[in-house]
Amino acid sequence: MTVSALTRPGERDRLIVKFAEIDWLFCLVLCLIAGAGALMMFSIAGSNWQPWAASHLFKFGLFFVMMVVLAMIDLRVWFALAYPIYWLGMILLVAVAVVGDVRLGAQRWLSFGPLGSFQPSEIMKLGIVLALARFYHGISAEDAKFSWWLLIPAVMIGAPVLLVAHQPDLGTAILIAATGLAVVVLAGLSWRVIAAGVLAAAVAIPPAVMFVLHDYQRKRIFTFLSPENDPSGSGYHILQSKIALGSGGLLGKGYGLGSQSQLNFLPEKQTDFIFATLAEEFGFIGCASVLFLYGALIFMALRTASVAHSHFGRLAAAGTTATFALYVLINGAMVMGLAPVVGVPMPLLSYGGTVMMTVMIGWGLVQSVRVHRYSEVTSGKGAFL
């Protein structure tokens, strides 16, 4: 029996229409960034597809298909799953704190025997966006500006941030907090509250650095401020990254000719510092080109958010885009020595399946918002149920 015999003509037509509604220019830009990452991995492995480039392309192809499938899912399904995904993430984060695997001094993973292990914090990057988008879909614009309702999103953001920070995983905790705050701001938070929050954060950061952070996290911040004080120790990553960035100049040293990466001076050259590898071999022009592609993705995703008819769709797409933009901003600043090293990769360009999966699921949600932009999502309750 053929597939056509199992599918009614009307259903086939709807699937074809949905498939056509996907932003294929957006998909092309995704492929270009992932291809650039594979190109760099091939170079730093000595013109070899192993161990990174082939795996990177295979995972991207797999997750690309998954993104297309997720784009076909009705926005009302995403709405219904918003709170369950958030609560699943919370349950798994608690499980990590109780029975999680400890690796390199951090307790971030849940192991499932022969099935492998994963970081539940990745689920929360999507869960926080969906849950907040659903919450704000159900309250008025006036309440979103400033009211007692704000206590609920504050708890929704604070609980997973504290659990992730306790693992400890400062980079992911910052991402979840910043993403959550971005959704709250986009939902219509009063600018007076935003200004007061920025002022309070500025006052709270110094004592938090001295008395809340772990010793190694505090050391990262001091290293960021003065990496030259320990050039062969804690400052090594930042200094080598700056050398790679500066030595590339305008046009770079040439493909496969980057000394810092090829001679293994640059640490984590295929993951956290792949942007420095790109700068060394392709220079300012190469970096600017990739950043232009990132900017194009962010612009197209925000445009999708702006045309969605439902408040849930607008916030879900904008929040997902904010997460992606924060990845790019934090990694770029980290590589250039403008921010402490916190282990945040450059999305799609860096090697690693977990982050790529999270990013592509998020883009699947954004494309679902585009495909179903005219759908009206039934207004839900503001209560966190």
183 token code pair = 């959704």
Cα separation, 255 vs 44, whole angstroms:
9
Give pLDDT, residue 59: 94
Q: Are 272 and 347 in contact (CB under 8 A)?
A: no
Q: Alpha carbon 65 to chain centroid distance? A: 19
Q: List, in sequence order, every beta strand (DSSP E) within the chain.
A: 101-103, 106-111, 117-118
Element (H, E) at 215: helix 215-225
CA distance 68 to 368: 9
48 Ramachandran zone, left/alpha/beta (phi>0; psi -120 to 50): beta
pLDDT band, residue 369 (cuts 50/70/90): very high
Strand order in the sheet with 101-103: 101-103, 106-111, 117-118
DSSP conformation letters of 102-171? EETTEEEEEE-GGG-EE-THHHHHHHHHHHHHHHHHTS-HHHHHSSGGGHHHHHHHHHHHHHHHTTT-HH
- Amino acid in the structure at residue 106: A
- CA separation for the pair 119, 283 (Å, rounded): 34
Cα distance between residue 4 and residue 66, in whole Å:
22
Please name the amino acid found at residue 287: C
CA atoms of 290 and 278, how far apart (whole Å): 9
> What tens digit of pLDDT does each residue of 292-345 get?
999 999 999 999 999 999 999 999 999 999 999 999 999 999 888 888 887 789
pLDDT at site 314: 94
Instruction: Using alpha carbons, list the distances in angstroms from residue 376 to 7, 187, 188, 380.
Output: 26, 18, 20, 12
Sorting pLDDT into bands at 50, 70 and 90, what band is 118?
confident
The domain limits of the chain are: 24-72+225-374, 77-213
Query: For residue range 120-130, what is the model confidence (pLDDT) as tens digits?
Result: 888 899 999 99
pLDDT at 4: 41
Least confident of 208-212, 247-251, 275-279: 208-212
Q: How far is CA 332 from CA 215, 231, 278, 281, 326, in A?
A: 24, 21, 12, 17, 10
CA pair distance 172, 217, nearest whole angstrom: 13
Cβ(272)–Cβ(334) under 8 Å? yes
Range in 5-19, 115-129, 357-371 the model is least confident about: 5-19
| Cβ-contact 29, 297 below 8 angstroms | yes
Q: Which amino acid is at 289?
A: S
DSSP letters spanning 57-100: HHHHHHHHHHHHHHHTS-HHHHHHHHHHHHHHHHHHHHHHHHHP
Query: What pLDDT digit, counting tens, does each position of 217-266 carry?
Result: 677 777 777 777 777 777 787 888 888 888 888 888 988 888 888 877 88
- Which pLDDT does position 104 carry in this prediction? 65
Both tokens of residue 371?
Answer: 């495909």
Q: Other C-beta atoms within 10 Å of 131: how many? A: 27
The string of pLDDT tens digits covering residues 91-107 is: 999 998 888 777 766 77
Q: What number is the average pLDDT over the span 57-62?
A: 95
Residue 286 has pLDDT above 50, yes or no: yes
